[in-house]
Chain A
Amino acid sequence: AQSVTQLGSHVSVSEGALVLLRCNYSSSVPPYLFWYVQYPNQGLQLLLKYTTGATLVKGINGFEAEFKKSETSFHLTKPSAHMSDAAEYFCAVSVGGFKTIFGAGTRLFVKA
């Protein structure tokens, strides 16, 4: 069965510091991986996705993620946090077909 584990329900960083949100997946077939962001009282917005090809994926708002098959990881990073990055972040996996499985989410706090 496919699954997603996000390590850390809450992450706090200072403005300007590195953001690292961890995601590990489980899949018996090559996965397609996604990171979404959710601001309060809003729907989900796609940050980036990995399907095939280059393992380092660049997304919107300066975020990027690296697919590491050997570690079954897809961690999300941003070199310098901004106050506007404060939100809930979800990692998700799709193994084809119709179903996307989401992690439980990581809430990012950015301190001034």
Chain B
Amino acid sequence: DAGVTQSPTHLIKTRGQQVTLRCSPISGHKSVSWYQQVLGQGPQFIFQYYEKEERGRGNFPDRFSARQFPNYSSELNVNALLLGDSALYLCASSLKSGGTRGETQYFGPGTRLLVL
């Protein structure tokens, strides 16, 4: 079975622009979480969606938004990009709501975003 896929793999944007990142979970997984990993740091939780509803949000500004589609794929949108948004954006999928009872999350390879 295919793992978690993300697109694009790399992206270069300029300050003020908007970006959309995409994620397809493992088949049968209904939960998708998004993480931001700044160089040299651990992943920081952004959002979790389960059954197309937002189940959790991390400490990120409203410029960050996401949604989940009926096929459980997900998009992460970031508006008004700042230099500090440059990072690896990771998507993770799990069968159920990630974290519940130690649910295992499976990570995609990430999208590397560079904001100039």
Q: Are B102 and A51 in contact (CB under 8 A)?
A: yes
Q: Are B104 and A49 in contact (CB under 8 A)?
A: yes
Residue on A with the closest CB to B108? A43
Residue on B with the closest CB to A100? B99
A46, CB-defined interface residue at 8 Å: yes
Q: Are A99 and B58 in contact (CB under 8 A)?
A: yes
Give the size range of A's interface with the partner.
20 to 34
Q: Are A100 and B109 in contact (CB under 8 A)?
A: no
Kindly list chain B residues whose C-beta atoms are within 8 Å of the C-beta of A41.
Answer: 109
Residue on B with the closest CB to A91? B42
B64, CB-defined interface residue at 8 Å: no
User: Chain B, 73-99, contact with A by CB distance < 8 Å: what is the 0/1 string?
Assistant: 000000000000000001010000111
Of the candidates B48, B50, B58, B107, the one having the most CB atoms from chain A within 10 angstroms of its own CB is: B107
Could you say which of A4, A45, A104 contacts B107, with CB atoms under 8 Å apart? Answer: A45
User: Chain A, 54-93, contact with B by CB distance < 8 Å: what is the 0/1 string?
Assistant: 0000000000000000000000000000000000001010
B33, CB-defined interface residue at 8 Å: yes
Q: Are A98 and B44 in contact (CB under 8 A)?
A: no
Q: A43-B110, A97-B56, A98-B33 are in contact. Are A32 and B41 (CB under 8 A)?
A: no
Kindly list chain A residues whose C-beta atoms are within 8 Å of the C-beta of B104.
Answer: 46, 49
B105, CB-defined interface residue at 8 Å: yes
Quote the shortest CB–CB distance from B112 to chain A (angstroms).
8
Residue on B with the closest CB to A33? B102
Quote the shortest CB–CB distance from A76 to chain B (angstroms).
15
A28, CB-defined interface residue at 8 Å: no
Residues of A within 8 A of B (CB): 4, 32, 34, 36, 41-46, 49-52, 90, 92, 94-105
Residues of B within 8 A of A (CB): 4, 33, 35, 40-45, 48, 50, 55-56, 58, 90, 92, 97-102, 104-110
A-B contacts, 25 listed (Cβ < 8 Å): A32-B101, A32-B102, A42-B109, A42-B110, A43-B4, A44-B43, A44-B90, A44-B92, A49-B102, A49-B104, A97-B55, A97-B97, A97-B100, A98-B55, A99-B45, A99-B48, A99-B99, A100-B33, A100-B45, A100-B98, A100-B105, A102-B35, A102-B42, A105-B41, A105-B42
